[in-house]
């Protein structure tokens, strides 16, 4: 998508701290961190909402969880982490490209 910030980051049109990149996804640092470590896992394919994803796309989101768990140490998430997907208006989704927030690096507050 031409005006999508995450697609622009993937294409190198907007600078970002990219910690991991492969043929399916990338992990970047959130520009406005809500925890000591706040990363975002972003599928390469531009899909605005989960309900618009194919079954395969949804399975990929599951695969992300496995990848993140294997990279836990190198991402600075030694003592655990929280994964969040904001979906739609009530959740406060601001970027219309499905993504998973990864929060950790410190004791997180209950929610
Ligand atoms: P959400 O509110 O769930 O849609 O999350 C979008 C996230 O993208 C927010 O936490 C923003 O801080 C983050 N964000 C927006 N623009 C950038 C950017 N250029 N680089 C890194 N993170 C960004
Ligand atoms: Zn996009």
**Residue-level pLDDT at 73:** 95
Report, as ranges of residue numbers, the positions in the chain whose pLDDT lies below 70.
Answer: none
Contact 10, 22 (CB under 8 A): no
Any idea which residues carry the catalytic annotation? 99
pLDDT value at position 79?
Answer: 95
Q: Which phi and psi angles does 49 have, rounded to 5°?
A: -140, 155
Among 30, 46, 101, 103, name the best residue to mutate to test ligand 1's pocket (greatest count of ligand atoms within 8 A of Cβ).
Answer: 30
Tell me the CA–centroid distance for residue 54 and ligand 1, in Å: 23
Predicted local confidence at residue 3, as pLDDT: 93
- CA–centroid distance, residue 82 to ligand 2 (Å): 23
């Amino acid at each position: 998508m031409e005006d999508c910030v995450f697609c622009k980051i993937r294409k190198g049109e907007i600078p970002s701290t990219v910690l991991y990149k492969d043929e399916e996804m990338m992990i970047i640092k959130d520009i406005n961190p809500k925890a000591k470590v706040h990363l975002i896992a972003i599928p390469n394919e531009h899909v605005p909402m989960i309900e618009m994803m194919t079954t395969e796309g949804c399975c990929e989101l599951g695969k992300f969880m496995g990848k993140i768990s294997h990279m836990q140490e190198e991402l600075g998430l030694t003592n655990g982490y929280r994964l969040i997907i904001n979906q739609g208006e009530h959740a406060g989704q601001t970027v219309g490209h499905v993504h998973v927030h990864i929060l950790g690096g410190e004791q997180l507050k209950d929610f």
